[in-house]
Structure 1
Amino acid sequence: MTPLVLIAADLAAITVLTFALYLRRHRRRDLVVSYLGMNVGVMAVAVALSGSAAGIGLGLGLFGVLSIIRLRSTELAQHEVAYYFSALALGLIAGLGIEPVWLPLALMALILLVMFVGDHPRVLPAYRHQTVILDRAIAGDSELHARLEEVLHGTVHSATVQELDLVNDKTIVDVRYAYRTAGAPFGPARTESSAAESRRELPRQDQPAPAGAGAA
């Protein structure tokens, strides 16, 4: 009875992980098929091997082999890698039939909870990562940060120059930054002199001339 309970729990968990979390947030159908097939395949193999003495070792070996093959076949974003390993872990936990039964159920629930919170849109929503190609060769850090903040409308936390092309006047930068909302101030903080300069009113053309400044 316990294997059937774990199989049903795994199918429910991978359904929640794939359709309620990943597909709803990222909308990539090809990885949905990959997550479902990988999870069920790992679970089936783990169930078949769970009765043997080397079941756990073979299951972990299968986990590693499948991970290497999948990660070398195409480029995945980091959040997609997290979903991929979560799908593998769910299948392996359900297939090994760990006793008592509440332990694998609790572990599967923990994986779902971590993915729900960690990939939630409200967790660090302003933090971004971009590879930016600038139309100027900029070597100075301060000038580079100022230009990136102007282009990206955010606060640059780190900027790693990947290529500085002085011939073609081009800079390729890997940038990690925090995006500013519409109401947030843009650019570096203004000094008192710049603030006073911005408050200075230009004289109006129709303003009367001061006393004593009449024509000679």
Structure 2
Amino acid sequence: MPQYALIGLDIAAILILTFGLYFPRHRRRDLVPAYLCVNIGVLAVVEVLSSAEGVALGLGLGLMGVLSIIRLRSYEISQHEVAYFFAALALGLLAGMNDTTDLLPVGLMALVLVALFVGDHPRLFRRYREQVVVLDRAIIDERELVKELEHLLVARVHSVQVRQVDLVNDTTAVEVRYQLPRSSATDAGAADSRDPAIVSVSR
């Protein structure tokens, strides 16, 4: 496949990823230019390095990896947003590093999009939630803590990790993973649940 055709496919793929998958599901505008620029930037750098003489392609890719790590550490983003970030990088690399007679990059680019479509679908495990809950009393006993959380959340608790027990202020901060009843789950709630929020519960 001609290189310009792969570049066109990469542009189509990043548009689908950004405007067809990410933004309709998560509505975070500030990451839209990040995904677009990362993809096109990686594609451009790989194209230049692959055609330049005396330049180690591995060194260039290593530098891009360092830049991506710096970007991910510079601002707090959730795990599913990291997945989209990595997918944008992968699409650019697949389009830039290829044999023009090989259709494998096209299939791999499609596979990346399919993986995100399925793995980040709002209906996948939509009844599962994760929250940081602050209770207005100190609870040491784990069984009592689970029982209290299930009563407050009206859900089945699967995992509890105690972050802090404050005996002075009489509070307990826990990270809890739980499963809602079928009648309580919504697609919108499932999308939001992947970003743990802090919920303060008092009586």
TM-score by length of 2: 0.85
Q: Bigger radius of gyration, 1 or 2? A: 1
Q: Deviations over 1:184-216 (max 9, x none)?
A: 9xxxxxxxxxxxxxxxxxxxxxxxxxxxxxxxx
Residue 123 of structure 1 aligns to a residue in which SS?
coil
Per the alignment, residue 38 of structure 1 pairs with 38
Residue 8 of structure 1 aligns to a residue in which SS?
helix
Q: Deviations over 1:77-128 (max 9, x none)?
A: 0000000000011011111233543111011000000000000111110111
TM-score by length of 1: 0.80
Alignment pair present for 1:158 and 2:159: yes
**Equivalence map 1:8-23=2 (5 Å):** 8-23=8-23
**Equivalence map 1:195-206=2 (5 Å):** none
Residue 132 of structure 1 aligns to a residue in which SS?
strand
1:2–1:97 Cα contact (<8 Å) kept? no
The structure-2 alpha-carbon separation of the partners of 1:55 and 1:108, relative to structure 1 and needing over 3 Å to count, comes to: farther
Report the alpha carbon displacement of residue 55 of structure 1 after superposing the two structures with TM: 4.9
**Quick one: distance in 1 between partners of 2:131 and 2:173?**
10
Per the alignment, residue 138 of structure 2 pairs with 137
Q: Deviations over 1:12-71 (max 9, x none)?
A: 000000000000100001101100011001100010111246554134213311221111
Gaps of 5+ in 1: 185-216
The structure-2 alpha-carbon separation of the partners of 1:59 and 1:147, relative to structure 1 and needing over 3 Å to count, comes to: same
**Quick one: distance in 2 between partners of 1:120 and 1:148?**
27
Per the alignment, residue 146 of structure 1 pairs with 147
Residue 182 of structure 1 aligns to a residue in which SS?
helix
- Higher mean alpha-carbon deviation, 30-39 vs 61-70, is at 61-70
**Quick one: distance in 2 between partners of 1:40 and 1:165?**
49
Identity %: 57
- Higher mean alpha-carbon deviation, 131-140 vs 54-63, is at 54-63
**Quick one: distance in 2 between partners of 1:84 and 1:51?**
26
- Higher mean alpha-carbon deviation, 97-106 vs 170-179, is at 97-106
1:135–1:169 Cα contact (<8 Å) kept? yes
Instruction: Indicate the RMSD between aligned Cα atoms, in angstroms.
Output: 1.7
The structure-2 alpha-carbon separation of the partners of 1:146 and 1:109, relative to structure 1 and needing over 3 Å to count, comes to: same
Per the alignment, residue 204 of structure 1 pairs with none
Alignment pair present for 1:87 and 2:83: no
**Quick one: distance in 2 between partners of 1:37 and 1:74?**
17
Per the alignment, residue 206 of structure 1 pairs with none
Alignment pair present for 1:98 and 2:99: yes
1:132–1:172 Cα contact (<8 Å) kept? yes
The structure-2 alpha-carbon separation of the partners of 1:136 and 1:115, relative to structure 1 and needing over 3 Å to count, comes to: same
Per the alignment, residue 195 of structure 2 pairs with none
1:63–1:88 Cα contact (<8 Å) kept? no
TM superposition outliers: structure 1 runs of 4+ over 6 Å: none
Amino acid at match of 1:79: H
2:6–2:95 Cα contact (<8 Å) kept? yes
Residue 83 of structure 2 aligns to a residue in which SS?
helix
**Equivalence map 1:170-189=2 (5 Å):** 170-182=171-183
Residue 173 of structure 1 aligns to a residue in which SS?
strand
**Quick one: distance in 1 between partners of 2:6 and 2:60?**
16
Aligned length: 184
**Quick one: distance in 1 between partners of 2:173 and 2:23?**
32
